[in-house]
Amino acid sequence: MAKRRVLLVDDEVTILLTMKAVLEMNGFDVETAASAREARSKIRLNEYQMVMTDMRMESDAAGREVIQAARTAPYHPAVALLTAFPEDDWSEMGADQMLVKPMQTAMLVQQIEALLVNHAAKLSRLASAAAAPVAKSEKKPKVKKSAAKRLASKKLPAKKIVNKKAAAPAKKSAAKKPAAKKVAAKKAVEKKIVAKKPVARKKVATKRKK
């Protein structure tokens, strides 16, 4: 297993050498920097899995400068603020964790290991989230047909069309039949009336007998 590279930044040489020895005994490859300026240069030229920096070095804001340089690095290392004076806004600075010194060796190593595991999981989630929109965009969108095109694409059966045309005359002839029946019935009634009229009898002149 490849050793994980750590950049340790502190302006106190005693602390720097002691922590370097502790981390190397636990399987880390450690480089050191005694100022924010030196740390920024090493972050730019090399790659690290973790950057651990003190807060107050050549200036009170030196630790912030190191954190900012680590955050903008293309390889995205985990960042820990190592300080004897706890800062309430360490997460706003961009640090993943704050480590308060002095600290027991076993606890320090345990926290560093946990930070590296959590940071690797975070990078994996970010990579998956970034890949998801790309995968979706590769799928060809389904083209929806307009209502007019859908109707045009549907072929109506010939039988239905013929039946519709044939149905029109049938309806007309059906409409004519009741009218013809009414006329015939009217004529029949008229004939009956005529038959019932009394026939006018001609008066026959009878000769009176003399």
Q: What is the average per-residue pLDDT within 151-160?
A: 54
CATH for 4-131 (3.20.20.80, 3.40.50.2300, 1.25.40.20, 3.30.1780.10): 3.40.50.2300
Q: Is the pLDDT of residue 25 over 90?
A: yes
Q: Which long-range contacts (CB under 8 A, 24 or more apart) does 17-23 make?
A: 19/52, 19/82, 19/108, 22/105, 22/108, 22/109, 23/109, 23/112
Q: What is the average per-residue pLDDT within 47-71?
A: 94
State residue 135's pLDDT score.
56
State residue 161's pLDDT score.
46
**Lowest mean per-residue pLDDT among 107-116, 122-131, 195-204:** 195-204
Q: Could you give the percent of the chain with pLDDT greater than 90?
A: 44
Provide the mean pLDDT of the chain: 78
**Lowest mean per-residue pLDDT among 91-100, 127-136, 166-175:** 166-175
State residue 177's pLDDT score.
55
Give the separation between CA 126 and CA 136, rounded to whole angstroms. 16
Local structure of 140: helix, strand or coil:
coil
**Lowest mean per-residue pLDDT among 9-18, 143-152, 177-186:** 143-152
H/E stretch holding 66 = helix 62-71
Q: Is the pLDDT of residue 176 over 60?
A: no
Q: What is the average per-residue pLDDT within 159-165?
A: 49
Q: What is the average per-residue pLDDT within 100-125?
A: 90
Q: What is the DSSP letter of 201?
A: P
Q: Could you give the percent of the chain with pLDDT greater than 70?
A: 62
Largest CA distance in the chain: 186
- 91 vs 6 pLDDT, higher one: 6
- 42 vs 123 pLDDT, higher one: 42
